[in-house]
């Protein structure tokens, strides 16, 4: 995978080996962007939850990652996409403990707590895209003084 050492990438999520590549990519990208150890660990963990959902619930898909820059702040945007059954009620799916399978139901809600920005685009039959953003330090303010 040529892109696995850069920050921008488009990785398949089709097997549990792919989950490991996703985790490794996010770890390296976050480190490269200057994320501290705890921030890296949070983002990698969130990515692992979302990638596993893509694999298990979405029937497989991909993750795109892209670096973000806003002033001096550096961030990483990760997008998890599948063309599976979709999530009929995303608010409910985000509730801690809600699972349609045998999981703990902590993945989606937990991932949302581990990142700075979180959005779900999903509808029954259309598949699911979950996009998250985290910043290396505090998230940038709309207006910054210098």
Partner 1 sequence: MNDGPYPHSAGQVPVLRLGDVLLVTVQGDLYDSTAQRLQDDIGAGVAAGGVTGVVIDISGVEVVDSFLARVLAEIAAGSALLAARTVVSGMRPAVAITLVELGLTLPGLETALDTEAALALLSRGTGGTFREPR
Ligand X SMILES: Nc1ncnc2c1ncn2[C@@H]1O[C@H](COP(=O)(O)OP(=O)(O)OP(=O)(O)O)[C@@H](O)[C@H]1O
> With respect to Mg ion, which residue has the nearer C-beta, 132 or 136?
132
Partner from Mg ion, ligand X, partner 1, none contacting 1, C-beta within 5 to 8 A by type: partner 1
10 and 64 in contact (C-beta within 8 Å)? yes
From the list 23, 77, 116, 140, which residue makes contact with partner 1 (rule: CB under 8 A)?
23
Residues in touch with ligand X (CB under 6 A): 49, 53-54, 57-58, 82, 84-87, 93, 98-101, 103-109, 128
- Three-state SS for 47-92 is HHHHHHHHHHCCCCEEEEEEEEEECCEEEEEEEEEECCCCCCCHHH
Residue 53 interacts with Mg ion (CB under 5 A): yes or no: yes
Interface with partner 1 in residues 77-136 (CB under 8 A): 96, 103-104, 106-107, 109-111, 113-114
| Backbone phi and psi for residue 37, each to the nearest 5 degrees, phi listed first | -60, -45
Q: How far apart are CA 18 and CA 11, in angstroms?
A: 8
Query: Residue 100: which of ligand X, partner 1, Mg ion, none does it interact with, CB under 5 to 8 A by kind?
Result: ligand X
Q: Could you tell which of ligand X, partner 1, Mg ion, none binds residue 20, using a CB distance below 5 to 8 A set by kind?
A: partner 1
CA–CA separation, 123 and 88 (whole Å): 6
């Amino acid at each position: 995978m040529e892109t696995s050492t850069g920050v921008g990438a488009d990785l398949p999520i089709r097997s549990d080996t792919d989950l490991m590549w996703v985790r490794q990519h996010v770890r390296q990208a976050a480190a490269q962007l200057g994320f501290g150890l705890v921030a890296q660990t949070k983002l990698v963990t969130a990515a692992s939850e979302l990638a596993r959902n893509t694999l298990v619930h979405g029937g497989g898909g991909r993750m795109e990652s892209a670096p973000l820059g806003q002033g001096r702040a550096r961030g990483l945007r990760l997008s998890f996409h599948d063309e599976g059954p979709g999530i009929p009620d995303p608010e409910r799916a985000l509730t801690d403990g809600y699972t349609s399978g045998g999981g703990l139901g902590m993945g989606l809600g937990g991932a949302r707590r581990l990142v700075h920005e979180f959005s779900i685009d999903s509808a029954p039959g259309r598949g699911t895209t979950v996009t998250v953003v985290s910043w290396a330090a505090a998230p940038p303010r709309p207006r910054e003084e210098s």
